[in-house]
Amino acid sequence: MDGDKRFPVPRRRTVSSARPRGHGWLVATGIVLAALVLAAVLPRLEYHEHWRPGFSFSPSTAQAALAAMAGGMLTLVGFALAAVTLMVQTVQAQSPRLLHALDRLEDIPILFGTSIAAFIFALAVLTDVRANSAPTISVSLAILFVVASVCMFLRLLVGFRSTLTTGGLAREVSRETRAAIDERFPAPFQASAPQARPPADTADQGSTWTVRHDGEPGVYQGFDEPALLRLATSLDTEITLVPAIGDFVGWGAVLAHGPGNPPSREQLLSAVRISPSRSLAHDPAYGLRLLADISIRALSPAVNDPTSAVQAMDQVDDILHRLAARSLGTGTVTGPDGRPRVRYLPPAWDALVALGLDETMQYGASSLQVARRLQALLTDLVAAAPRQRRPPVQARIEALRQLVTAAFPDAGGREASSPDRQGLGTPAR
């Protein structure tokens, strides 16, 4: 399969089989429950076993400290909630899809869980302070809870500072997209490798069976290659998967078809993945979609921020250069006997180029800064791409020239056509 990799999928195919993203809340719940148990047990053990750690708190000092910590944790939760609200609004302003695509939100529930646990623990230990003694170890542990919560809050603020900008969001999307490219397309491009061909249409005369989706609607994210290969080999058939990664799959949509012995519905559907939304982890093209969203949002008349569009183009530039040098798969999985057993629709290079550039070209050709950055991107890409992958890039160089000419009929066309990796900042090379 020319080095193409597939991700392992759960056995179930329903919406619940999507990649879990709620583990942060489970950890937060566990922290709160642990604080409750610890607050109920530890102070009583201290009094019963007469533990003496070598230092102590007076009852009045312990009461004042625990009351201050409990109140301070409630205030910290309020600050954290305000910061998260600001982050959500900022990310939504760039693209509504970014909230689900980025994993930055996964640590936030743990911050809330730790802060609430510190509040509960301090409040519970406060009730165990006696008139002539205080549970020293418990008070010390409450202080550690508070320190941990404050450190996590500061870490959240530092993360916001580096992420909650257009450039930061673009870099975060690019980072996850690069990881997905390295995972799915590790093999270098080879001109002599077999070229991918689209799977046959469902009306193909050789198809004798068809499997349709009968679950909740969602987005097709891929298939379990070893499981599907074993299934096709055991039945001596060829399985053709119809949707491409990222396609919406509704009820009754054709998932697969083929000749010969049909697989059971449950066997085939357990080997494909249908999720509520697209995922950067399994769909590098989605990263280009998100970067294009950021770019064209910055170019809208309401925002009019070409510098932000250039920052998004910087990341598109890097991703397209990486993809140009990689094999995108042959569209065929062969069995041990050398016969094709599974066919699928791999990403197309021209479609990836269009996804990353066309909308920005459409909306940004009238901007000197964006036009010059696009010209530099295309010029570099056509020089670096293998010969077989140059035609789509060359076509966009000509399309950009026409758009710039139309946008600057009298003056500025020559300046806008000059390649510049900064948009407006470096002399022509």
Which of 111, 144, 164 terminates a domain? The answer is 164
Same domain, 48 and 122: yes
Least confident range from 77-81, 203-207, 278-282: namely 203-207
What secondary structure does DSSP assign to 354-416, as a single string?
A: HHHHHHHHHHHTT-HHHHHHHHHHHHHHHHHS-GGGHHHHHHHHHHHHHHHHHH-SSSSHHHH
Give the amino acid at 248: F
d(CA 108, CA 167): 22
What are 295's two structure tokens? 């770019």
Question: Residue 428: its pLDDT value, please?
Answer: 54
Stretch 90-107: mean pLDDT = 68
Same domain, 311 and 201: no
Interior CA angle at 138 toward 135 and 140, to 5°?
110
**Please, are residues 212 and 253 in contact by the beta-carbon 8 Å criterion?**
yes
Same domain, 311 and 269: no
> Per the structure, how many domains does the chain have?
3
Q: For residues 94 and 234, which has the higher predicted lDDT (pLDDT)?
A: 234
Q: Is residue 175 part of a domain?
A: no
Residue 236 DSSP code:
T
Same domain, 103 and 148: yes
Note the residue count of the chain: 429
Those residues with Cβ within 8 angstroms of residue 272's Cβ, 6 or more apart along the chain or in another chain = 9, 13, 220, 222, 223, 224, 228, 241, 255, 256
Instruction: Evaluate if residue 11 carries a pLDDT over 50.
Output: no
Which of 251, 275, 299 terminates a domain? The answer is 275
Q: How far is CA 16 from the centre of its chain?
A: 18
Same domain, 139 and 247: no
Three-state secondary-structure class, residue 225: helix
d(CA 108, CA 116): 13
Same domain, 382 and 259: no
Partnered with residue 343 across adjacent β-strands are: 240, 332
Same domain, 213 and 291: no
Question: Residue 15: its pLDDT value, please?
Answer: 30
Stretch 397-411: mean pLDDT = 88
Q: Is residue 44 part of a domain?
A: yes
Which of 275, 303, 337 terminates a domain? The answer is 275
Instruction: Evaluate if residue 73 carries a pLDDT over 80.
Output: yes
Q: Is residue 243 part of a domain?
A: yes
Exposed, middle or buried: residue 388 (CB in 10 Å: 0-12, 13-18, 19+)? exposed
Same domain, 223 and 292: no
Residue that has been written with the tokens 């619940």 in this structure: 16
Residue 188 DSSP code:
B
Domain harbouring 218, CATH code: 3.90.1170.30
Q: For residues 382 and 25, which has the higher predicted lDDT (pLDDT)?
A: 382
Across the chain, mean pLDDT equals 84
Same domain, 316 and 261: no
Q: Which long-range contacts (CB under 8 A, 24 or more apart) does 20-27 make?
A: 21/100, 21/103, 21/106, 23/106, 24/105, 24/106, 24/107, 24/108, 24/109, 24/110, 25/109, 25/113, 27/109, 27/110, 27/113
Same domain, 24 and 39: yes
Question: Residue 97: its pLDDT value, please?
Answer: 76
Three-state secondary-structure class, residue 24: helix
Q: Closest Cα partner for 191 from 386, 402, 43, 345?
A: 386
What are 68's two structure tokens? 């201050």
Stretch 145-163: mean pLDDT = 83
Domain that holds residue 389: 282-328+347-416
**Please, are residues 380 and 317 in contact by the beta-carbon 8 Å criterion?**
yes
Question: Residue 16: its pLDDT value, please?
Answer: 30
Question: Residue 400: its pLDDT value, please?
Answer: 94
What are 165's two structure tokens? 């900008």
Instruction: Evaluate if residue 197 carries a pLDDT over 80.
Output: no
Instruction: Evaluate if residue 3 carries a pLDDT over 80.
Output: no
Instruction: Evaluate if residue 176 carries a pLDDT over 50.
Output: yes
Residue that has been written with the tokens 């300046």 in this structure: 415
For a pLDDT cut of 90, what percent of the chain falls above it? 46
pTM above 0.85, yes or no: no
What are 277's two structure tokens? 């939304």
Stretch 375-383: mean pLDDT = 95
**Please, are residues 65 and 147 in contact by the beta-carbon 8 Å criterion?**
no
Three-state secondary-structure class, residue 144: helix
Q: Is residue 367 part of a domain?
A: yes
